[in-house]
A = this chain, B = another copy of it.
């Protein structure tokens, strides 16, 4: 079913559900789902409204102008998304393939809905994965003295392919502040640790040394502060003293895969709102 999704945030105030739902009802829309959240600490209100696209009786532009006029006096910050427009996702990888395969297979199964016109890597090693799934694979190696140029090429390709969402599927490069800010809320990174534990590099080795009894992974939006962006999803798996660092890496792969996939799915379904360092992730709902 094709839908229209409004993501809204504003200071909490009386009558929001009523006013917003009535706005759509009066224009003949069928509201399929309406989810809210109030952050009591900040007094901020968040809303996701899912409408049946078939019940749109005007042009999209007209709807948007209309809503814009409605939203201004209420102080709403909002975005609108039409699910007949398929989003375009670029996957950036380095040398490990498990997250890449996982996203491509889920897309093939129809679990996540998007186009993947582009795989980008700083290494040639995963080129064959692109071939298997018939997706253009661009290898842009990073010379130590030419990091900025390589990033420039990356950004040019993202523009050229009209990319909506950038997924860092174990892309072991740090992005520059301007890049991250241009794609604010549109770059998802998978970190192979249960953040904020083991922030930074080599988390499995450090987890082993610390003797933790569970390891985890964290999917978050990339921000200029490394590993500090809003967390979208986390999960863990139990380990024991018997597990070596290599075992942690292997067990971790399953956690990384699932955590990244859930985060990407939530983003593509327009279920996430960012509130400072926190994220509101609405359930998939019906």
Q: Are B132 and A242 in contact (CB-based, < 8 A)?
A: no
Interface size on A, residues (CB 8 A): 68
In the complex, whether A72 has a CB less than 8 A from a CB of chain B is no
In the complex, whether A109 has a CB less than 8 A from a CB of chain B is yes
Among candidates B105, B211, B278, residue contacting A231 with C-beta atoms closer than 8 Å: B211
Q: Are A18 and B25 in contact (CB-based, < 8 A)?
A: yes
Could you say which residues of chain B place their CB within 8 Å of the CB of A98? 105, 109
Looking at the complex, which of A29-37, A57-65, A78-86, A151-159 is the stretch in contact with chain B? A29-37
Q: Are B286 and A40 in contact (CB-based, < 8 A)?
A: yes
Could you say which residues of chain B place their CB within 8 Å of the CB of A150? none
Q: Given that A231-B213, A279-B211, A279-B241 are known contacts, is A30 also in contact with B18, CB under 8 Å in the complex?
A: no
The count of identical subunits is 4
Interface pairs (17), CB distance under 8 Å:
A14-B30, A15-B25, A15-B31, A17-B17, A18-B18, A18-B25, A101-B101, A111-B253, A196-B212, A197-B197, A210-B231, A211-B230, A211-B231, A211-B278, A214-B216, A216-B236, A242-B285
Q: Which residues of A does B touch, CB under 8 Å?
A: 14-19, 21-22, 24-26, 30-41, 97-98, 101, 105, 109, 111, 132, 194-198, 209-214, 216, 230-236, 240-244, 247, 250, 253-254, 258, 277-281, 283-286
